[in-house]
Amino acid sequence: MKLFIKTTKFLASLSVLFALGTSFAFASDYQAEAKKTGKIYHRLEAGASRVQKGDGAYLIPQNEFSDDINKYVFENSEKAGFAAESFYYVTKSDLIANSTSADKTNIDTSIAAVSKIMRSVSKMKGMEYYSNTRKIYDTLYLESYRIENPDSTTPVADLLDGSADGKTIYAFQEEHSFGKGTYKISYKENSKMVVMKMENLTTLSYGIIKAVKPGKCKVCVNVIDDGDGYFVWIGMSADFMQMSILEKKMNKSFQARLDAIFKWITLQF
């Protein structure tokens, strides 16, 4: 059975298609499944078992940014307490239908609009996530805004002019579980996709426990224009202190954040 599953994954990974005249390619089985179900989730094996089972991030869309994305999120993450990827699909018609805008006739669903949304750090404030522990929706970010440099805590306006390509910003956030922290966020952009990479520059504490060291929590988002909609890949790894009292709660907390990031992007139109 295990051999069959591995063989199926391997064959699926060979079955790729090219879309929209870009360098984007993706295993057609996963692309079709994402369009059908809206989401595919894959939690990577931890530790030596990942190597033994050959479990890697197989949902990453293959494009000019994919190698960098894979290295950024998952390189040297075998010992990380949490490593996962989610692959979503949302139609542009659904983005318009779910928009809070009163006028739904002039809603911009272009990649340029996506780029601005992904740089709107201040809009993360009030962002909700589903608590798997308490079975309720709760506020993920109590505070969120751009800062001029990593040593500042003074809010500055979101950097929305022009393309996001090559830009790096810093953010201050107060998060529900991990408290106050500073983050580095960098971007890549072309005519059909936007990539956002985010990592913690300060220690993430879970209560009185210093759980995640600086640079050990990494998130990457790759949004790809499919014409009628958007594919959204989100990957995350977090190397946290492995304690039985922490592990289950931390894993559930990180997993919920993948869906929260997707909603943050798609509900801003």
* Tens digits of residue pLDDT in 234-248: 999 999 876 666 777
* Residue 248 confidence (pLDDT): 76
> Residue 159: which domain range?
2-266
Find residue 217's DSSP bridge partners.
Answer: 238
Domain total in the chain: 1
Q: How far apart are CA 84 and CA 4, in angstroms?
A: 22
Per DSSP, the residues of 106-169 read S---SHHHHHHHHH-GGGGTT-EEEETTTTEEEESEEEEEEESSTT----B----SS--TT-EE
**The pLDDT value given to residue 269:** 92
Output the domain CATH number for residue 7.
3.30.530.20
Degrees, nearest 5: CA angle 149-77-59:
95
Reported as a single tens digit per residue, the pLDDT across 118-143 is 999 999 999 988 887 788 888 999 99
User: Per residue in 99-115, pLDDT tens?
Assistant: 988 888 999 999 999 99
Q: Which two tokens stand for residue 253?
A: 């907390």
The string of pLDDT tens digits covering residues 37-82 is: 999 999 987 654 554 555 678 899 989 999 999 999 998 777 778 8
pTM for the model stands at 0.87
- What are the φ and ψ backbone dihedral angles of 167, each rounded to 5 degrees? -85, 145
Q: H helices of the chain, where?
A: 2-14, 28-37, 48-53, 66-74, 92-97, 111-119, 244-266
- The SS3 assignment for 198 reads strand
Q: Quick one: pLDDT at residue 81?
A: 82
On whether the CB atoms of residues 244 and 224 are closer than 8 A, the answer is no
pLDDT digits (tens, 9 = 90+) for 176-224: 888 999 999 999 999 999 999 999 999 998 888 888 999 999 999 999 9
SS3 51: helix
